Amino acid sequence: MDCLFCKIINREVPAEIIYEDESIICFLDINPSNPGHALVVPKVHCENLLDASGETLRSLISIVPKISRAIMSGLNYDAFNFSVNNGAAAGQIISHLHFHIVPRREGDGHKLFGGKPYEPGEIEQVAEKIKAAF
């Protein structure tokens, strides 16, 4: 397998690891949005959120508060964004599930979402299509 994150997990590629347990590894992003931007990664290879087991997802999400608190406290941040890019169109570059913890300060210059309102009647149509897919 030619997965960069699996190579980090197996210590074939160096990374600045800030947390690790039996199922999770967390290391600093080498192209951070802010210093302390970290990636929380399952040790078991799964391509994305839809490929992960419930057990893997529970392990990932349960450790996020502990890691986030350490980043915020250690680096004096006020808040953080928590996100996942699921698939290439959503910005996923490495095909191994990972969550981003991006520490934030007021006025750091990072923008979040550039949303726009629905056209009249559009929100109902979108909702019905989603409900029908269940």
Catalytic residues: 98
Distance CA 50, CA 14 (A): 28
Residue 115: strand, helix, or coil = coil
3-class state of residue 99 by DSSP: strand
Short-list 23, 43, 19, 44, CA closest to 101: 19
CB 32 within 8 A of CB 93: no
- With contact defined as beta carbons under 8 Å apart, do 35 and 75 qualify? yes
Residue type, 133: A
